[in-house]
Structure formats: structure tokens, C-alpha cells
Amino acid sequence: MGPKGFQAAGIACGIKATEGAKDLALIYSQAPATVAGLFTTNRVKAAPVLATRRKVRRGICQALIVNSGNANACTGEQGLQDAEAMAHLTAGALHLPPQHVLVSSTGVIGHPLPMERIEQGIPSLVARLSPLGFPDAAEAIMTTDTRPKIITEKVAVDGDEITILGMAKGAGMIRPQLATMLAFLLTDAQIEAKVLADLLHEGARSTFHRITIDGDTSTNDMLLLMANGEASKRALHAQDRRFRPFQEALFKVMDHLALAIVRDGEGRTKVVKICVRGGKNSRAAERLAFRVAHSPLVKTAFFGQDPNWGRIMAAMGAAGIAFDPRKVSIFFDDIMVVEHGVHAPGAGEAQQRRVLQQEEFTVTIDLHAGSAEASILTTDLSTDYVRINASYRT
């Protein structure tokens, strides 16, 4: 069950080549909901991103329709018209104003939407709306994902039981500032749109903006938070003592989804936390962590379980951040492999390999230059990743 007053559905309407694969999802709130959103920073923005970003600025919505299998990106004026048509068709079926219907898409770039199939699918989609329909919707937004990503969290606020549901898709082109990532957060708490926006920005900074798989940024990233107030007696405000438990529950949902995306990274065999500490400032620490996390040589070494710390040092040096290599220490979990910028005495290769043989481990880089730190979650780069992306359109 999702939050009070929300329903969802997911069906197959023939957008994807695989017969029977769900590819059209709908989320509906029986009452108007406040909404906030974050969108791709890619200069090439898909039509549904442009359409939905404009509507989210109004702070009110009541439905969201999502298709997978086609990004509706780089499709020109026709793409914008198709995104608006999806909203209008959905609004008509639900008897809503079109401006209250948001649109999202994910899939192959550069192909027009098969609008005839979508138009035929919308009545069936609306007919299947149910408080139990969220798993189907989570499946319908997937592309190269191997499994749906969905979580529900409940929190008691002033005698009210508030529910937060989150669903996401993403397995490749995952780079902070979002990346082929769609994430939809729903709650029956009563919260103003401005407060939602502040919550979303703060939560994303430590969750969705701190993950990367291949360093590419999508045209279609979208993170939405909707609140319909159906379980709240009165609105939550940031200065309210009741606000903190809700905030913690929301950030827990966001953190769970971000980790689930990394764990489902295309072709991944490892989940690696890159932690840079001892930096002069957090921005520099973050840039170094991302540079290491994006290095193909570092990531392929992780895949090969090769403790080649020299690749980490080289990646750091190419980050454009000032640091003293002679002060650097590097650890694989708790095993020091570099001390004062050179191979650490007593760091046996067999011990190092045992760490890298694990499915999840941490690489810690200490700059010994200050107290700032930053952590990034990433994956290895495997032969399966190449295979998946070499044949994505087929």
C-alpha cells in the first residue's frame, strides 16, 4: 500500500520491443498534491523534462504518466507536442486539468514516441489504478534495470501515521546532478511546495548527487516529490519540532533508492565507496572522489580485483585539485596500501586482493591537508557493461 490517497498502475502498451514488457506507468493522487522537482543539468533536455519542469514551478499536480523504452529526447517540436499530448490524454481520462498532469520518459534517444500505442494504452492504464499498483508502476519505468526499486517508510508525526513511498529507475548514465535516473517520492503528509523543494535539494545532496556508475549525464533525469496531505491534520513546517522525524524518514527513502541504483548498475560486480578525507575543503574532496570514481582504469582494476593503487594516484593527479602527493595515504577497507605517497610497508598483495574480491568495499584517500571529506558510491566497469551498452538499441 502506498500513501493515503495515492494510486498507481503499470502496463505493457508496446513501446518496448520485448513483448509483454511493462512500459507505461501512472501515479495518481485523488486530491491535488504539492510538488517539487529536480531535473537534469544536461544542456540537451528531453521534451518531458521541459514540459514537467514548467508545470512543477506552479507547485501543484495530481498525476504523473511515465513511459519507458523511448526517451522522447532530441525529437524537436514534435517531441514537445507529444509530451503535451500525453498529459492531455491522461488528464482527459482522469477528468483533471492538463496542467496538473506531469510527464516523464526514459529510453532510447532520438526516436519519436509511438503515440498511437500510448493513446491506446492510457484508458487501460487508468482502469488499473489501485493503491496496490505501485510495484507494477515501478516495473514499468525500468529500462536496463534488472529489478524494480521501490521502498515504503512510515513515521508517526503528532499522532498521524505518515507514509512515504519512493520508486526509482536507473542502472547506467548515473552521474550526480541525477543521471538516467527517474525517482518519484510520494507522501500523504501536508507540506507546502517551497518546503518540499528545500527538502528535496538537501536530501539529494547526500544521496542521488553522490552516486556515479559511468560518469555520463542523461537528458531525462527527473526527481519529483509529491505531498497530498491526506494523512495530516496540519501542515509540516521546517521550524516545527514534528518536521525532523519526517525529514529523517524521507532521507532514508532517498538513501535506499540511491544505493539500490548503484547496486543495480549496468554489468556491475562491485559497489565501491570512494572516501576522500583530510581535504582543505569539501568541494575539493568531492572533485577528487569523483575523478577517481570516474576513471575507467581504476574501475577496470576493481573489476579485475587488481590492487593497482597507482591508477588511483594518477586519477587524483588529473583532477585539477591542488594537493601534496607526498602526504597521501590510501586504504582498501582498513588496509593501508599507500603511505606518504608511496607503497606502504607491510601492505601484502594477497591481503589487498582479498578486499577487492568482496562485492562491496571502501577506498579511503587521506590527503592530510585539512578536515574536509566527501564520499561517492560507484561501481566497477565490467565486460558486461560494454556488452549491455554496445547492444542497447537492439
Q: In the predicted model, what is the mean pLDDT of residues 11-26?
A: 96
- Between vectors from CA 166 to CA 151 and to CA 373, what angle results, nearest 5°? 90
pLDDT of residue 171: 66
Q: What is the mean pLDDT of the chain?
A: 93
255/188 Cα distance (integer angstroms) = 20
Lowest mean pLDDT among 65-79, 300-314, 377-391: 377-391
Q: What percent of the chain clears pLDDT 70, i.e. is strictly above it? A: 96
Q: Is 357 exposed, middle or buried (0-12, 13-18, 19+ CB in 10 A)?
A: exposed
- Between vectors from CA 55 to CA 49 and to CA 97, what angle results, nearest 5°? 120
34/190 Cα distance (integer angstroms) = 8
Q: Is the dihedral of CA 64, 69, 72, 78 positive or negative?
A: negative
pLDDT of residue 304: 96
Residue 310 φ/ψ, nearest 5 degrees: -60, -35
Q: Does domain 6-263 fall into CATH 3.60.70.12?
A: yes
- Of 261, 90, 104, nearest to 173 by C-alpha is 261
Residue 51 φ/ψ, nearest 5 degrees: -70, -45
Residues of the chain with CATH 3.10.20.340: 271-390
pLDDT tens digits for range 59-68: 999 999 999 9
Residue 367 φ/ψ, nearest 5 degrees: -85, -15
256/244 Cα distance (integer angstroms) = 18
Q: Flag whether pLDDT at 295 surpasses 90.
A: yes
Give the number of other CB atoms < 10 A from CB of residue 30. 13
Which of 90, 180, 187, 217 is catalytic? The answer is: 180
Q: In the predicted model, what is the mean pLDDT of residues 281-298?
A: 95
- Work out the end-to-end distance of the chain between its first and last CA atoms, rounded to an integer number of angstroms: 36
Q: In the predicted model, what is the mean pLDDT of residues 373-387?
A: 90
pLDDT of residue 125: 98
pLDDT band at 138 (very low <50, low <70, confident <90, very high): very high
pLDDT of residue 174: 46
- Please tell me the class of the 271-390 domain: alpha beta
Task: State yes or no: is 52 an active-site residue.
Answer: no
306/274 Cα distance (integer angstroms) = 16
pTM, 2 dp: 0.90
pLDDT tens digits for range 187-230: 999 999 999 999 999 999 989 988 887 666 788 999 999 999 99
pLDDT tens digits for range 159-189: 889 999 999 998 654 454 444 589 999 999 9
pLDDT of residue 216: 62
